[in-house]
Structure formats: C-alpha cells, structure tokens
Structure 1
Amino acid sequence: MRTLRYSINVTLDGCCHHEAGLPPDEESMHYWTDEMARADPLLFGRVTYEMMESAWRRPPSGTWPDWMGEWEVPFAEAIDQAKKYVVSSTLNDVAWNADLLQGDLEQAVQRLKQEPGERLWVGGVTLPVALADLGLIDEYEFVIQPVLAGHGPTLLAGLRERVQLELVHRREFGSGAVALRFRPRPAPA
C-alpha cells in the first residue's frame, strides 16, 4: 500500500506561502528533486496545480525559460514528467499529465493508496487540511526555513483535531533550513 506524504516549505512562524521562505538554492532544489523522483503520482488541489503548472511545465518550445537556473532543470523535469491528480470542484479538464480526482475525496485517495507503488505526494495548503482531517496522511515533511514571514497562510490552518507526530527523519541544509519528517503517532490503547 502506498503511503501519502505531505511535503511543504514553511517559515519558522508557520507561514506556508511559496514566496515567504528563502529562494531555492542548489542544495534544497537537489533535495526536492530527489523527493519528486521518488513520488509515484502527485496530488494537488486546483490552486497548487495551477501554480506549479505555470512555473514548472515544459514550454511548448521545449526550452526551459531563461529565469530557470541549470540546477533547477532536474526538478522541473521531474515534476513535469510526474503523473498528477487534481482535486477540484471548479475545473472540468486538466492537462500536464494530470487527471481530475472526482467523487468522494476519502474513497478516491484510498483507491490511489491501494494502487501499486511506493508513495503518493501531496503539496499545497488547503487540500492537505482535508486529507489530515480524514486521517489519510501517513507522513508529514516540512522544510523549515529560517525566516519569520509575519503574514500569509499558515500550515494546516483549520485542522479539526490535533495530530500527534513522531520524528522519523531530520536533515540540515547549509542555508540553515531543516527538513523534518514525521509520522502520526498511533492512538493510545
């Protein structure tokens, strides 16, 4: 059975807006490229899907844009090629190697978890709250940036119940960022 991992960059004060942290550097992009390459399909809500597509979809010309550093291309290629599922009640069609995930969210994600493979990966802000409330997230991965944003959406805002976690992996980056991976603790018997 596939695990579902929620991964996101977050500031020290919990902001998870993509522009609030540090700009990516080679070390963090290499980390995210490796993580992306190990994900079977990606699961996005509409907003995250559209944001990621606008930044990381290979242009029709086949040439990556000038703003993209050479060290960002492997990440762009990994996410561009990845299979994607999009949860949306407003989109009728998706492209970029994606399918709409429709119907009951819990049942649809459970079906994806039952398919062969190692890991589903979810990013974003809103969809992960719904998945956490349903108890579907098996791992939480936060790359904590040494920044105080002071504004913006915060991590898992609106979660209905507290989720107890146990640390299973830690990695420090030269920038001062720290990747922490957690699994939910089993409920006491």
Structure 2
Amino acid sequence: MRPLRYSINITLDGCCHHEAGVPPDEESMRYWTAEMERADALLFGRVTYEMMESAWRRPSTGAWPDWMREWETPFAEAIDRTKKHVVSSTLSEVDWNAELVRDDLEQSVRQLKSEPGQGLFVGGVTLPLALADLGLIDEYTFLVQPVLAGHGPTLLAGLRERTRLELVDRDELRSGTLALRYRPKNAEGK
C-alpha cells in the first residue's frame, strides 16, 4: 500500500499561504525535489493543480522560462514528469500528465493508495483537510519557516478531530526553517 504524504510550507504562526513564508532558496528546493522524488503520483485539488501547473509545467518550447534559476530546474523536472490526480467538481478536463478524480473522495484515494509504488504526495490546503478528516494521510511534513505572517489561511483549520502525531524525522535548513516529519499515532489499518 502506497503511503499518502502531506507536505507544506508553514509559518511559525501556522499560516500556509504560499507567499507568506521565506522565499525558496537552493537548499529548500533540493528538499522539495527529494519530496517529489519520493512520490509516484501527486494528488491536488483544483486550485493547487492550477497554481503548480502555471509555475512548473514545461513550456511547449521545451525550454524552461528565463525567470527559473538553474537550481529550480530539478524540482520543475520532477513535478512536470510525475503523474497527477486532480480532485475537482468544476474542471471538465485536465492535462499535464493528469487525470480527474470525480468519484467518492475516500473510495478514490483508498484505490490510489492500494496501487503499488513508493507513495502519493498531496499538497495544498482544502483537499488535505478533507483527507485528514477521513484519516487517509499517513505522513505529514511541515517546513516550518521562521516567519510570523499574522494573517492568511492556517494549517488544517477546521479539522473535525484532534490527530495525535509522532515525530519521525527532523532537519534544520540553513535558513532556520525546520523540516518536521510526523506520522499519525496508531495509524495502523488506515
């Protein structure tokens, strides 16, 4: 069974807006590239899918855009080539190596998890909340950035039940960002 891993950047006060934290640097991009490479497939909601596609899809020319720094290219290549599943009731079609997930969310994700492979990666804000409420997330990785945002969406706001987590890995980046990896306690059988 493939584990479902949720990874996101957050500020010290729990803000998970993609522009609230520390701008990406070479070290953090290496970290995110390694996370992408631990996944056979990505699971996104519509908003995250469209945001990631606009930034990281290889242009039709085949050349990466001028704004992209050389150390961002490995991440772009990793996300570009990875299979994507997009949960949406409003999109009529997707491309970028993607397919729509329209059926029952819990059943669809359980089916994806049952397929062979090394893991599924989920990002974003809304979809991970629904998956956490269903008890489907097997691992949480938070890149806690040394910033107080004071506003914006907060991590898993509205979670129905408290979820106890066990710290399984910790790494400190030069920027002061802490990469914290957790697994739900008593997660067997989920």
Same fold flag (TM > 0.5): yes
Q: Which residue of 2 aligns with 1:141?
A: 141
Counterpart AA for 1:74 = P
Q: Which residue of 2 aligns with 1:29?
A: 29
TM norm structure 2: 0.97
TM norm structure 1: 0.98
Counterpart AA for 2:136 = L
2-structure distance, mates of 1:31, 1:81: 18
Cα deviation, residue 131, structure 1: 0.2
2-structure distance, mates of 1:22, 1:34: 19
Cα deviation, residue 99, structure 1: 0.2
Cα deviation, residue 155, structure 1: 0.4
Q: What SS class does the counterpart of residue 53 from structure 1 fall into?
A: helix
2-structure distance, mates of 1:69, 1:150: 30
2-structure distance, mates of 1:21, 1:86: 25
Q: Which residue of 1 aligns with 2:46?
A: 46
Q: What stretches of structure 1 of length at least 5 have no aligned partner?
A: none
Alpha-carbon RMSD: 0.8
Q: Which residue of 2 aligns with 1:180?
A: 180
Structure 1 residue 18 and structure 2 residue 5: aligned? no
Q: Deviations over 1:144-166 (max 9, x none)?
A: 00000111111001111110001
Cα deviation, residue 36, structure 1: 0.4
2-structure distance, mates of 1:177, 1:46: 28
Structure 1 residue 158 and structure 2 residue 177: aligned? no
Cα deviation, residue 118, structure 1: 1.3
Counterpart AA for 2:96 = W
Cα deviation, residue 77, structure 1: 0.4
Q: Which residue of 2 aligns with 1:75?
A: 75
Q: What SS class does the counterpart of residue 135 from structure 1 fall into?
A: coil
Count residues in correspondence. Answer: 187
Q: What SS class does the counterpart of residue 136 from structure 2 fall into?
A: coil
Within a 5 Å distance, the mapping from 1:62-101 to structure 2 comes to 62-101=62-101
Tell me the percent identity: 76
